[in-house]
Amino acid sequence: MRILIAAIYPYVFLLLYLIIPFDSYIRALPNILLIILVLAFPFTVKKADFRNLKSLPVILVCTLLVYLAFNSFFAGRFPEDFNIIKKVMIALGMAILYIPVLNLDPSSGHAEKIKRAIIFSSLAAIVFSIYNFVLITDATGSFALGNSPQVVESLLIDRLYLGLLSTFSILISFQSIKEKYHPNNNYHLANIVINLVFILLIASKLAGISLFVLLFIYQFYGQRRIWKVFLACIALGAGITLFFIMKNDGSEIKESGMTTKSSLAFIENSRTYELRAVVWECATRIIEAEGFTWTGDGFEGTNQKLLSCYNTQITDPHKREEFIHKEYNTHNQFLDFYLSAGFIALLLFVIFVAVSFLSVRKQFFPTAMLALLVMYCLMENMFHRQIGSYYIAFILIMLMTKEMPRENDNLKEI
């Protein structure tokens, strides 16, 4: 029985990551697979496997989880905050549950199978979304891309997370392409093109910006780094200059819906960034009103204070009703940790990012994964969604494995 469980366990884990985007359609299955993994874990893990838990990123996430739990418990708000704490637990738990899979097939390299699961998951989500788009287009008799309602309704999951999944897939394929001819190169190149086109079609701004940032980071690796970094800095400077020119030459800024005006014109030209401008303005007001905090107001308490701010500060009645009805959170994981669990939680999360960077900075792939984590946490409360927890777990797994020997050699050849 133990041998059978050990043989099935990796495929259950990979199946879970394959179907994550389909959670809305098969809601119970991911939870069932997670329960199976938890029950089977003691029968598949070996004592020697636990050496992987000595990874500093894993230890720091564990420390953050313990602090969040104790802080919430002693503040008397554990039942209200458990929904978020549980998602941090899922991210850490998935990394731990991956331990038996690490040494499954040494010949294929560490973490290769979960990477393939991410690629197939992304392709499946793209096919499903395109199929929905064709059906909706046929039913409405009109064709529109970008931010159109047709695209939004056809997407399998939220644009932000679908863009993140596609970015994962592109990064994995890019890292897997060999310098010399290899049959798999064609498949990886095709996967990169498909996901790039899809990101453009759905107008995922954050995914597009993330890819440019990752391209910039890549210039610090491989040969002729000095020239590549020099050219990348020129391109970055040109981009920043263009941004300020567009900002200063923009039309008169419209009302943001708050009692104050937005300071950035481009925010008002994008519904996504306008939403965050309003939310961040309210978060700033809360910080100014309460001052420095060590322990925070709790995740539920922070949401209630944001709702109160929306009610008093948003002048447009329709927008106010929307913000209150949808209970928009801080849309920034760093802000959320500070407001909800205080400076200590924010400090632990920042230390996790900093220490992880120091431990993987010589390797492009894990550094790129960490950069993705930071960029998305700046724009989204990743731990407020279960899908966000799963994808943070994937990043944590990549940091934990640190792209072991075989892949390290590949990076040195770049």
Q: How far apart are CA 193 and CA 282, in angstroms?
A: 40
Rg (the chain; Cα; Å): 22
Q: Determine the average pLDDT of the residues in 128-145.
A: 77
C-alpha distances out from residue 323 to 285, 306, 317, 391, Å? 16, 9, 10, 26
134 within a domain of the structure (yes/no): no
DSSP structure class, residue 146: T
Please provide the distance, in angstroms rounded to a whole number, between the alpha carbons at the two ends of the chain: 45
pLDDT attached to residue 237: 63
pLDDT attached to residue 374: 95
For 33-56, how does the pLDDT look when each residue is reduced to its tens digit (9 = 90+)? Answer: 999 999 999 888 887 777 777 788
pLDDT grade for 406, boundaries at 50, 70 and 90:
very low
234 within a domain of the structure (yes/no): no
Q: Tally Cβ neighbours within 10 Å of residue 2.
A: 10
Domain region containing 410: 55-97+266-414
pTM of structure: 0.86
The two tokens of residue 394 are: 């994937």
110 within a domain of the structure (yes/no): no
How high is the mean pLDDT of the chain?
82
The two tokens of residue 172 are: 């994995």
pLDDT attached to residue 407: 39
Q: Determine the average pLDDT of the residues in 126-149.
A: 76
C-alpha distances out from residue 301 to 78, 85, 229, Å? 11, 14, 45
Indicate whether 105 pLDDT > 80. no
pLDDT grade for 271, boundaries at 50, 70 and 90:
low
For 212-263, how does the pLDDT look when each residue is reduced to its tens digit (9 = 90+)? Answer: 899 888 888 876 656 566 666 665 565 555 445 444 444 333 444 554 444 3
Q: Which one-letter amino acid corresponds to residue 205?
A: K
Q: Determine the average pLDDT of the residues in 306-329.
A: 89
Domain total of the chain: 1
3 within a domain of the structure (yes/no): no
Using alpha carbons only, what angle is made at residue 87 by residues 115 and 386, rounded to the nearest 5 degrees?
Answer: 60
C-alpha distances out from residue 109 to 78, 265, 390, 403, 411, Å? 41, 48, 22, 8, 14
For 156-166, how does the pLDDT look when each residue is reduced to its tens digit (9 = 90+)? Answer: 888 899 999 99
Q: How far apart are CA 403 and CA 106, in angstroms?
A: 12
Indicate whether 266 pLDDT > 50. no
Which of 288, 285, 280, 275 lies closest to 319 in space, CA to CA?
A: 275
pLDDT grade for 197, boundaries at 50, 70 and 90:
very high
405-413 and 159-176 are packed helices; what angle lies between their axes, rounded to 10 degrees? 80
Indicate whether 83 pLDDT > 90. yes
